[in-house]
Amino acid sequence: MENPEQGKAEKIFRDLGKRLDQFAAEAQEAGSRMEADFRSKFEELKASAERLKKETENKERWKEVEAALKKAGEELERAAKAAFGKREEPGKQ
């Protein structure tokens, strides 16, 4: 003959075991989702870093281009002044 208290304890432990199994499954699923989210965010950050690196390189290149164009503009201005600037006409001083 089984003791009624013993049956209650077995039921409590069975329910506890089921809940622990369910909790473990949910925790594993949540961990998998978090890992997938982490990998996704990591890839996004890598892409952003690469984009930022390229933009920075382009800005440096454009600074060089801007400086070269400015220098060329100054040279062109000097050449234009030399070619078309006021010249003293012979006999007028």
Q: Could you report the per-residue pLDDT of 40-67, keeping only the tens digit for each?
A: 898 998 888 888 888 877 787 788 888 8
d(CA 93, CA 90): 8
pLDDT of residue 20: 95
Structure token pair of residue 84 = 């078309």
pTM of the model: 0.46
Average pLDDT (89-93) is: 53
pLDDT of 1 over the 50 cut: no
